[in-house]
Amino acid sequence: MIQALVASWHRLDPGDLNIIKCGVASAAALLLAWNLASPAGQRLQRLRPLLLSVMGVLALGCWWELGRFHYPAYVQVHEHYHYYLGAKYFPELGYTRLYECTAVADVEAGLRRQITSWWIRDLNTNRLTPGAAIVSNPADCTSRFTADRWAMFKGDVAWFRSHRTPELWSEALVDHGYNGTPVWAVAATLLIPNRPVNDTDIVLLALLDPLLILTMFGFVWWAFDWQTTCVAMIWWGTNDLSTYLYTGGAFLRADWLAFSVIGVCLVKRGRPALGGFALTYAALLRIFPIVIIFGLALKAIMRTWRARAFRIDPAQRAFAIGSIAAASVLLLLSFVVVGRGLEGGLQAWDGFAANSRKHLSTPLTNNMGLKTVLSFSPSTRSARIGAFWIDTPWDTWSEARHRVFEQREPFFWLLVVAFVALLARAVEMQEDWVALVLGTTLVPVATELTCYYYAVFMLFALLWRKWEWSGAALCALAASSLLVPVILRSADDAFTAVSVLTLLFVATLTGAILFPIGATHTILSGIRTDSANAVYQKPAESERSL
């Protein structure tokens, strides 16, 4: 029996794992929806904690591909190449020279014919460029290094190259470079040893994210309850947007999410200053988590506007103090540790700002959000024009996306402003932690991010006890994210369709809070939750240990 199970596990491929994930997400959605349809079913009420526990733990394992990892390796060398080398050699590489200097190192290692036959991304423009042009002026790289640092860099590049096939190594050089903020680089710089890269160091660095992830779920359990934790794990482990294949086995790629969730949990449990510190750290790690804080800011603005005078309650004042403290300390550290002085620190942030502008102007097939939807046109799908290009691969597709969005940009801003106005009304009467979670609704509306950042939707699981239907909807969204790519094979088609679904989810959530039908569902959901709690005697908030 055990041998048969082990043999079955060895045969699991990505398609099999997606079927398992979809099954878990769909079953969870049905379980949570059934409770709404049949609130009097006491047997199911008693079974629900057990069933949710099984699904949650299984979903958590599903994020790690049930131990299959990267089929079969745990460490994602591709990610470590970008973030290990990007942080370790940031003074020499900045944000634009990783691929160029890697190519020069490869040429010095005797691989000129290979490099000059490849397309390599020019990180100054984000355009694919012939390798021969990239290495035409090697002194532009080597002159930035001391002799010892260049020798170590070449050795590190050789280590990463030796852990890739030629095909996978060429794929690394057409990605989008190192993109960590100077604040992210503080921890990375302190953690990366000043010695040649080796297997042990990489494995140890890759274990940091699992530690952060498990700590994050521990905070959810502490601040809410076990069932809410299971709903969060179901989104985390089963959605097809932020899977292990993107950032699993990497180096500090889950830190922004962990601190975002921990920050909301701290606010929920009455630690607003620590919550403000954690959420500001998350924002300084990846910038876009600032929309979470914006949800609370909107609440404060609405309260001030209603009172016609500036008003901020003590908890919000403490949150602001924690946020200011985090910004002050972390920005100073980024100047000292990464920039090596005030001038260098400012240059690092200038480089990050320029790098961010470049990425924001570069369409990607796995981008998501309202902007992605408005940039889509059936006539310019990658399936139709992706194979045609003028100067470099994908230039025709990218220009088409730009052109379509420019025509619709006024409509984009109209929708963003309208949604912010609705969100302001929605958060006005909510608890602070709820306002923070609702700030996450701005992610698909106001930003355009690559799909794996939608791990942040895990925050919506925290609303499950307040609006129980939202948990079923979140699990259904996870299942849908797995089904859509089966129907729509082209990446841009699939991610545009899933973007529409995420926009419908956040619009429904916001609308349900604002309008009478939403109030009705809220009341019913609260009654049913109280009934369920009475059945399995969940301890009251005041009874749980602080």
Sequence-distant (6+) residues with CB within 8 A of 48 are 31, 35, 227, 532
Q: What is the pLDDT of the chain when averaged over all its residues? A: 90
* CA angle (238 as vertex; 55, 187 as ends), nearest 5: 110
Sequence-distant (6+) residues with CB within 8 A of 507 are 419
Predicted confidence (pLDDT) per residue in 222-279, tens digit: 999 999 999 999 999 999 999 999 999 999 999 999 999 999 999 999 999 999 999 9
**What does the pLDDT read at residue 214?**
97
Q: Please tell me the distance from the alpha carbon of residue 315 to that of residue 483, in angstroms, as a whole number.
A: 43
**What does the pLDDT read at residue 120?**
96
Is the confidence at residue 30, as pLDDT, over 50? Answer: yes
- Its sign, for the CA torsion 292, 293, 294, 300, is positive
**What does the pLDDT read at residue 336?**
87
Residue 302: CB atoms within 10 Å: 18
| DSSP bridge pairs for 122 | 127
**What does the pLDDT read at residue 307?**
81
Average pLDDT over residues 160-178: 95
pLDDT grade, residue 418 (50/70/90)? very high
Greater model confidence, 122 or 38: 122
Predicted confidence (pLDDT) per residue in 342-397, tens digit: 445 688 999 999 999 999 999 999 999 999 999 999 999 999 988 888 888 888 99
Integer-rounded Cα Rg, in Å, for the chain is 24
Indicate the domain borders of the chain: 15-66+208-537, 77-180
pLDDT grade, residue 533 (50/70/90)? very low
Predicted confidence (pLDDT) per residue in 64-121, tens digit: 999 888 777 899 999 999 999 999 999 999 999 999 999 999 999 999 999 999 999 9
| DSSP bridge pairs for 221 | none
Is the confidence at residue 532, as pLDDT, over 90? Answer: no
**What does the pLDDT read at residue 534?**
36
Predicted confidence (pLDDT) per residue in 107-137, tens digit: 999 999 999 999 999 999 999 999 999 999 9
Is the confidence at residue 17, as pLDDT, over 50? Answer: yes
Q: Give helix 272-286 / helix 182-191 axis angle, nearest 10°.
A: 90
Is the confidence at residue 413, as pLDDT, over 90? Answer: yes
Q: Does residue 120 contact residue 134 with C-beta atoms inside 8 Å?
A: yes
Average pLDDT over residues 493-518: 90
Average pLDDT over residues 159-165: 95
**What does the pLDDT read at residue 515?**
86
pLDDT grade, residue 525 (50/70/90)? very low
Greater model confidence, 41 or 454: 454
**Range with lowest mean pLDDT among 15-19, 202-206, 210-214:** 15-19
Q: Are strands 127-130 and 119-122 parallel, antiparallel or unpaired?
A: antiparallel
Q: Please tell me the distance from the alpha carbon of residue 478 to that of residue 457, in angstroms, as a whole number.
A: 10
Q: Does residue 82 contact residue 175 with C-beta atoms inside 8 Å?
A: yes
Is the confidence at residue 308, as pLDDT, over 90? Answer: no
Q: Does residue 470 contact residue 20 with C-beta atoms inside 8 Å?
A: no
Sequence-distant (6+) residues with CB within 8 A of 62 are 17, 20, 21, 24, 237, 238
Is the confidence at residue 523, as pLDDT, over 80? Answer: no
Is the confidence at residue 545, as pLDDT, over 80? Answer: no
Is the confidence at residue 144, as pLDDT, over 60? Answer: yes
Q: Which two tokens stand for residue 182?
A: 């100077």
Q: Which two tokens stand for residue 407?
A: 């025509």
* CA angle (172 as vertex; 184, 124 as ends), nearest 5: 65
Among 446, 410, 438, which Cα is nearest to 292's?
A: 438
pLDDT grade, residue 59 (50/70/90)? very high
CA distances from residue 79 to 33, 113, 171, 175, 385 in whole angstroms, order as listed: 38, 25, 12, 10, 29
Give one DSSP letter per residue of 212-227, joined into a string: HHHHHHHHHHHHS-HH
Identify how many contiguous H helices and E strands the chain contains and give both numbers: 29, 4
Average pLDDT over residues 495-518: 90
pTM: 0.91
* CA angle (149 as vertex; 146, 150 as ends), nearest 5: 85
Average pLDDT over residues 309-321: 90
Residue 537: CB atoms within 10 Å: 6
Percent of the chain scored above 70 by pLDDT? Answer: 90
pLDDT grade, residue 2 (50/70/90)? low
Q: Does residue 399 contact residue 377 with C-beta atoms inside 8 Å?
A: no
Q: Does residue 55 contact residue 31 with C-beta atoms inside 8 Å?
A: yes
Sequence-distant (6+) residues with CB within 8 A of 419 are 441, 442, 445, 446, 507, 510
Give one DSSP letter per residue of 322-373, joined into a string: HHHHHHHHHHHHIIIIISSSHHHHHHHHHHHHHHHHHHHTS--TTEESHHHH
Q: Does residue 425 contact residue 514 with C-beta atoms inside 8 Å?
A: yes
